[in-house]
A and B are shown apart, each in its own frame.
Chain A
Amino acid sequence: MNPLPIDPKNLPLVSGDEFQGNLSQILLLVILLGTAAYLLLQHGLVKSKMMAASGAALFAVAGLMAFTSIPMELESVVRMCFSILAVAGGIAFITAREPVHAALGFATAVLSACGVLFMQSAYFIAAATMIVYAGATIIIFLFVLMFAQKAKLQQYDVQLTSPVIAAAVATSLLFAIAWSVSEPGEILPVKLDLTRPYSLAAPGSAPGEAMPPVPDPAMSTEQLAEFTPGKTSGLGRSMFTDYLLAIELAGTVLLVATIGAIVLAQKPERDPS
C-alpha cells in the first residue's frame, strides 16, 4: 500500500518522547468515581439523602484530585474544567429522577465534551456534535417525552435494575481502560502513516508521491502548528479523497434510516370492520 520507496517498518517517527504514566493516581480516581456513582444511584434513585450527600462529596474529592494533578496553565485548567463538567453532567444524567432533568444532564455532558473537542482543534466535529446531539437528539427526545410521559413519576422512572452489578461492571471496565492507557509505554510513539496520503495534517505538495514533511523539534511554534489536524478544509480533503466511498455509504445509511423512521412512526391502519 505504501507508494513511497520506504520500508514500512522504518517510517520516520512523528513524536517519540517516552511516556510517563501516573497509574496509581488514575486508578484511585476510577475507584472514587465508581463508588460515588453507586452512592448517588442506590437502590432506586436517591432513597437516602445521607448516601447521596456522601456520594456528592466523593465526587468533589475526585474532581479536586484530578484538578491538582495537572500543570497550572490556562489551557489545561480550562480543559480540566470542561472535563469535570462533562463527568458531572453525566452523573446527573444517570441519577436524575425526572426524565427532563436527565435530558438536561445529558445536554450538559455533551456540550462540555464538545468544549474539549474544540480545544483539541476538531472544530467541525465539535459543531456537528452540538447540532446533532444537543440540538436534534434533545429536541426529538423532548417531543417523545411530551407524547409519552405521564404527569406523575412512574414506577419505572425511579426503580432501577441491579445498580450494584451495573456500577461494578462499569467500574471494572473503566479500571481496565485506565490501566491500559496509563501504564508507561502503553501509548506507542507515533509513526508517519503513508497509506492514506491525503489524510495527513501536513500532506506536502504532492501527497502520495513525495515524502511529506515531518515535524522536527527545531521548528518554530507556527511551523509545528501546521501538523495539528485542525482545518476543516483538511478534513474535507481527506473525506472526499481517501474516504469517499465510506462517506457515500454513510449518506445512504442516513437515507435508509430516514425512510425507516417515517415507516415506523406511522399510525397503524384501522380495520374497516
Chain B
Amino acid sequence: MNHSEVQNLLVLGGILFAIGLIGFLTRRSLILMFLSLETMLSGVSLNLIVFSRYHQNYQGQILAVMVLTIAACEAAIALAMVVSLYRRKATLDVQAWDELSETILPKDPQGDYPGMDKEESYPKLIPAGLDPLAKPVPSSMQATIEQASSLHESKLNESKTSSAVSEVNQRA
C-alpha cells in the first residue's frame, strides 16, 4: 500500500465528512439532517480502515466496528425521536423546535404549526408481569402462586433437615 493511495483515500473520507457537514448545516428536514450525520460517520470509518491497512493491524477496524454500533444506536433513537416530535407538531421542520435554543433570538414569523397548544405528555414504560405489592392477587394466578410457595417451603424444610442430619453426623 503506497502513500499516494493512503492520501487519496484520506481525502475521500474528508470529502464525505464535508458533504455530511454541508447537509447537516443547510437542510431543514429532521430526517435529512440525521442522514447527513450518517454520511459524516461513514467518512470517519473509511479513514479508520485506511489507517488500519496502513499500520498493518486490526485496531482501526475495531474502531470502525464501534462507529458502526454507535451509528446503529443513533439511527434507532433518532428516528424514534423524529416520530415522537412529529406527533407533537405535525411537521419535520427543525425550525419548529427553535424554542429549545436561546430565547433571545427573534422568533420565526411563520413559526405557527398545528397542534402547538397540545398538552405535553412524556413516554412511559408499560409495566410487565405481576405487581408483587398489588392486593388482592388475581384469582387466575392464586393457584399457581400457592403451588409455587408450597414447593418452595417443602424445599426449605428439606434443606433444613439435610443440614441438621449433616450436623449430627459431624458431631458423631
Please report A residues at the B interface, Cβ cutoff 8 Å.
14-15, 17, 19-22, 26, 29-30, 33-34, 37, 41, 66, 70, 76, 79-80, 83, 86-87, 90-91, 93-94, 99, 102-103, 106, 109-110, 113, 116-117, 120-122, 124-125, 128-129, 132-133, 136-137, 140-141, 143-145, 147-149, 154-157, 159-163, 165-167, 169-171, 173-174, 177-178, 181-182, 187, 190, 193, 196, 199-202, 215, 227-229, 234-235, 237-239, 242-243, 246-247, 250, 253-254, 256-258, 260-269, 271
Residues of A within 8 A of B93 (CB): 154-156
Residues of B within 8 A of A266 (CB): 123-124, 126
Please report B residues at the A interface, Cβ cutoff 8 Å.
1-12, 14-23, 25-29, 31-32, 35-36, 38-39, 42-43, 45-46, 49-50, 52-59, 61-62, 64-66, 68-77, 79-84, 86-87, 91-95, 110, 119, 121-126
Residues of A within 8 A of B54 (CB): 187, 190
Q: List 19 A-B contacts (CB under 8 A).
A: A90-B19, A93-B19, A94-B26, A102-B32, A106-B35, A110-B42, A133-B42, A137-B72, A141-B35, A147-B86, A155-B110, A156-B29, A173-B17, A193-B59, A229-B61, A257-B74, A261-B80, A266-B124, A268-B87
Q: Contacts A116-B46, A120-B49, A229-B52 given: A265-B15 contact, CB under 8 Å?
A: no
Query: Chain A's interface: helix, strand, loop or mixed, by majority?
Result: helix
Residues of A within 8 A of B79 (CB): 140-141, 143-144, 261, 265
B64 in contact with A125 (CB, 8 Å):
yes
A86 in contact with B3 (CB, 8 Å):
no
Residues of B within 8 A of A128 (CB): 65, 68
Residues of B within 8 A of A19 (CB): 3, 7
A230 CA to B12 CA in the complex, in Å? Answer: 21
Residues of A within 8 A of B39 (CB): 90, 93, 106, 109-110
A129 in contact with B68 (CB, 8 Å):
yes
Residues of B within 8 A of A125 (CB): 45, 49, 61, 64-65, 68
| From B1, B49, B69, B121, contact of A250 by CB (8 A) | B69
A181 in contact with B7 (CB, 8 Å):
yes
A201 in contact with B57 (CB, 8 Å):
yes
A268 CA to B81 CA in the complex, in Å? Answer: 13
A86 CA to B42 CA in the complex, in Å? Answer: 11
Residues of A within 8 A of B73 (CB): 253-254, 256-257
B27 in contact with A94 (CB, 8 Å):
yes
Query: Chain B's interface: helix, strand, loop or mixed, by majority?
Result: helix
B50's closest neighbor in chain A, by CB?
A120
A129 in contact with B80 (CB, 8 Å):
no
Q: Contacts A21-B7, A87-B15, A125-B45 given: A193-B57 contact, CB under 8 Å?
A: yes
A15 CA to B3 CA in the complex, in Å? Answer: 10
Residues of B within 8 A of A271 (CB): 119
B18 in contact with A187 (CB, 8 Å):
no
A187 CA to B47 CA in the complex, in Å? Answer: 13
A228 CA to B86 CA in the complex, in Å? Answer: 47
Residues of B within 8 A of A258 (CB): 76
A125 CA to B51 CA in the complex, in Å? Answer: 14
Residues of A within 8 A of B66 (CB): 246, 250
A154 CA to B27 CA in the complex, in Å? Answer: 12
A86 in contact with B16 (CB, 8 Å):
yes
Q: Contacts A145-B31, A257-B77 given: A22-B16 contact, CB under 8 Å?
A: no
A148 CA to B92 CA in the complex, in Å? Answer: 7
